[in-house]
Amino acid sequence: MIRFDSVSKEYPDGTVAVGGLEMTAPTGKITVLVGPSGCGKTTSLRMINRMIEPTSGRIWIDDRDTTTMDAAELRRGIGYVIQQAGLFPHRTVAANIATVPMLLGWDRKKARARALELLERVGLPTSFADRYPSQLSGGQQQRVGVARALAADPPVMLMDEPFSAVDPVVRDQLQDEFLRLQGDLGKTIVFVTHDIDEAIKLGDQVAVLRVGGKLAQIAEPARLLGHPVDDFVADFVGRDRGYRGLGFQRAPKLPLAAETTARLGDSAEQVRAAAGTEPWTLVVDEGRRPLGWVNTEQVAGTVSSEVLHRGGTVASTNGTLRNLLDAALSSPARRGVVVDEDGTFAGTVLAHQVLDAIESERAAAAAAQPAGSAAR
C-alpha cells in the first residue's frame, strides 16, 4: 500500500504543483492518476520514489515512511516506466533490462537469463536481446521499458504515461498485455495518464486531480462514470459516460436468435436460396467462427472474402452490455453477432433486446437501493 499523507509540493518559483494530497494506492492494484495538463500527476508520482522531495507531508509504503529511507535503496524496490521508454541508447536490450539486477550485484549469467525471460513475458522474441533500442519500434521499446522495470521483481511500479507515444492500435495492444501481465504479477501500481479512457480501462481505482494537485474524486471506474462528484469530474469523464459505463456491466443471458449461415466458396444461388427474403447472411469459417456479413444480392459467382462486410463488432456470451449493444448497433443486418467463449457463433441479438436488458438491470439496481441513497 502506498499512502499520501497530506503531501504538498511547492516549487522554488512558488508554483504549488500538489496541495495536501491524501490518497491510498492499495497493494496489488492499479491506481491511475488522471487530470488536465499541469495538475501535478508527474510530481505526485515522482515524490513516491523521491525523484522529487515533498515540501510537506509524508508518503508511506506499507508501514515505512519513505522520507526516512535511503533514496537509492527505495528506488531499487520501485520499478519506473516513462513515456518513450527512456532506454539507454548505447546499451543492448538485454543490458537495458538487466540494469537494476546488475546494480544489485547479480552475476551476468543470471541477469541475462532474467532479461531473456522478461523479453518473453512482455511478448518480444529473445532474439531482440542483442539489438539496440534504435533497432526497435516505439511499441517494442515500450515493452522493453516495462521489462526493465520488472527486472528485479519490485513490489511497486510507477508508470508515467508509458503508452502515450505509440499509435492507438499499438497502445490498445500494450494496454491489454499490461493488464494480462498484471493479472499474473499483482504489483502495486501507480499509473499516470491524461487520457480518461486509458484510466477507465486500466484502473482498479482512478484518482481525478484538479490543477494545484488536489484530489477531485477517487473511485472505481464504474463509480466514476456513474457518479461523478461535481461538474469538473463530470466534464473530465466525458459526455458518453452513460454508454461507457455499460462496459463495466456483465451482459445477462439473452435469448439468441439462430441465423442462416454461409461459407466462403458457397455459390450465389445456394446463398440466395437459403436466405429467402433476408438481405444479409452471416459467413462463418469451418469452425463456425464468424467472418462477416454478406449482402445476399451482391454475391456474384461465389462468396469471397472481398464481399464481406467487416464493420460489425462481435460480442461474447460472457462480455459486457456495451459489447453487446455495440455488436447490435454496428451490424449491417441490425442483428448483433454473439460468440461463445471459444469464438464459435452462438446467435444474434437486436439492439432493443439489449436496451430492455439494460432497463431491467437499472430497475433491479434501483429497487435494491435503500430510499434516498440513489444520488451518490
Ligand X SMILES: Nc1ncnc2c1ncn2[C@@H]1O[C@H](COP(=O)(O)OP(=O)(O)OP(=O)(O)O)[C@@H](O)[C@H]1O
Residues that bind ligand X (CB under 6 A): 11, 13, 15, 17, 35, 37-43, 194
Measured from the CB of residue 202, what is the shortest distance to ligand X in angstroms? 16
Q: Which of 149, 160, 13 has its CA nearest to residue 77?
A: 149
Q: Which of 57, 119, 67 has its CA nearest to residue 94?
A: 119
Measured from the CB of residue 42, what is the shortest distance to ligand X in angstroms? 3
| Residue closer to ligand X, measured from CB, 37 or 134 | 37
Return the residue matching grid coordinates 515522482: 46
| Residue closer to ligand X, measured from CB, 44 or 140 | 44
Measured from the CB of residue 299, what is the shortest distance to ligand X in angstroms? 51
| Residue closer to ligand X, measured from CB, 191 or 345 | 191
| Residue closer to ligand X, measured from CB, 13 or 231 | 13
Measured from the CB of residue 62, what is the shortest distance to ligand X in angstroms? 25
Cell triple for 325: 449493444
Residues in the chain: 376
Q: How far apart are the first and last CA of the chain?
A: 26
Measured from the CB of residue 235, what is the shortest distance to ligand X in angstroms? 17
Q: How far is CA 169 from the centre of its chain?
A: 12
Cell triple for 158: 510507477
Greatest alpha-carbon pair distance for the chain in Å reads: 79
The contacts found for 95-101 with CB under 8 angstroms, 24 or more apart, are 96/133, 96/144, 96/148, 97/144, 97/147, 97/148, 97/151, 98/151, 99/148, 99/151, 100/76, 100/148, 100/151, 100/152, 100/154, 101/151, 101/152
Measured from the CB of residue 210, what is the shortest distance to ligand X in angstroms? 10
Determine the Cα–Cα distance for residues 338 and 351; give it in Å rounded to an integer: 12
Measured from the CB of residue 212, what is the shortest distance to ligand X in angstroms? 9
| Residue closer to ligand X, measured from CB, 17 or 158 | 17
| Residue closer to ligand X, measured from CB, 8 or 182 | 8
Determine the Cα–Cα distance for residues 336 and 318; give it in Å rounded to an integer: 14
Using an 8 Å Cβ cutoff, are 300 and 268 in contact?
A: yes
Measured from the CB of residue 37, what is the shortest distance to ligand X in angstroms? 3
Q: Which of 199, 176, 235 has its CA nearest to residue 41?
A: 199
| Residue closer to ligand X, measured from CB, 46 or 263 | 46
| Residue closer to ligand X, measured from CB, 44 or 142 | 44
